[in-house]
Amino acid sequence: MRTGKLIKIIAYLILAGFVLRFITGVHLPAVIVAFVLLLVLLLTSSNKKNGKKEEQLPSLTKTKEEHYSKLGMTDQEIDFFRDTMNTTKKQIVKLQENMNASTKLRAIDLRNDTLRVSKALFKELVKEPKKLHLANHFLYTHLPNLVDLTSKYLEIDDHEIKNKQTYEKLEESAQIIDQVSKLIKKDYEQFVADDLDDLDIEISVAKNSLKRDNEHSETQE
């Protein structure tokens, strides 16, 4: 809160203290102290909220701001994108912790490149934020589900005493985790499909150009 605004608020509180003193007979200093304490509490609460917000979302760098500006993104789009990516980053970090905490989960990760693919898709989104909608399944379904599934798997696997039902449930969970990991790989492949198509077109154009150049050279000879 700005200093000027704070001074105005204190002035209003003092004035209110005088008015209340004449109306209610309450002693002035006590009224002022009560109001000032209330103001301090409000300011402290506001600072705590702001602190939490800053903790959750890193500050926007000049480079990133220029990047978003060049893409023509509005302030609302930038805020939404940054908030989404901040959440996604935390989920990937949690998924990595979970995958590394179990031999079975590490095997699933190695088989499907789950962490590597998730990080690669995250990087692609950072480069092309306007394509956020193309990663909806990854961002809002597959990745969050995989984090929840692996967390639950570890919780059950940590049981000191396991019976037949426990092992069956762990095996079922591992199969589902493997399937969702495959879906994340598909999410990445679909996201970069346009880039591969563009590359095919460029290769085709380059080949045709080389063919024409070679034919022209042979004619001159």
Answer whether residue 86 is part of any domain: yes
In terms of Cβ atoms closer than 10 Å to its own Cβ (0-12, 13-18, 19+), residue 181 is buried
What's the confidence (pLDDT) of residue 198?
46
Angle ∠(179,136,55) on CA atoms, nearest 5: 105
> Do 183 and 99 share a structural domain?
yes
- Domain encompassing residue 72: 63-204
> Do 100 and 81 share a structural domain?
yes
Phi-psi domain of 26 (left: phi exceeds 0; alpha: psi -120 through 50; beta: other): beta
- Are the C-beta atoms of residues 102 and 157 closer than 8 Å to each other? yes
What's the confidence (pLDDT) of residue 134?
94
Would you say the pTM of this structure is higher than 0.85?
A: no
Number of other residues whose CB lies within 10 A of the CB of residue 213:
10
> Do 167 and 113 share a structural domain?
yes
Number of other residues whose CB lies within 10 A of the CB of residue 121:
23
Identity (one letter) of the amino acid at 21?
R
Within 8 A by CB and 6+ apart from 159, the residues are 166
> Do 119 and 157 share a structural domain?
yes
Euclidean distance between the first and the last CA atom of the chain, given in angstroms as a whole number: 80
What's the confidence (pLDDT) of residue 42?
63
What is the full per-residue pLDDT of the chain (221 aa) written as tens digits?
445 555 666 666 666 666 666 666 655 555 555 555 566 556 655 555 554 444 567 788 888 888 898 899 999 999 999 999 999 999 999 999 999 999 999 999 999 999 999 999 999 999 999 999 999 999 999 999 999 999 999 999 999 899 999 999 999 999 999 999 999 999 999 999 875 444 444 454 454 555 555 655 555 65
> Do 103 and 199 share a structural domain?
yes
> Do 88 and 18 share a structural domain?
no
* Residue 128 three-state SS: coil
> Do 112 and 73 share a structural domain?
yes
- Distance separating alpha carbons of residues 160 and 149, to the nearest angstrom: 20
Burial state string for 203-212 with b = 16 or more CB within 10 A and e = fewer than 16: eeeeeeeeee
- CA 112 to mean position of chain CA atoms: 22
The radius of gyration of the chain's CA atoms, rounded to the nearest angstrom, is 30
Answer whether residue 221 is part of any domain: no
> Do 78 and 38 share a structural domain?
no
Answer whether residue 220 is part of any domain: no
Answer whether residue 163 is part of any domain: yes
Identity (one letter) of the amino acid at 195?
D
Q: What are phi and psi of 192, to 5 degrees?
A: -95, 5
- Are the C-beta atoms of residues 13 and 43 closer than 8 Å to each other? no
- Give the total number of structural domains in the chain: 2
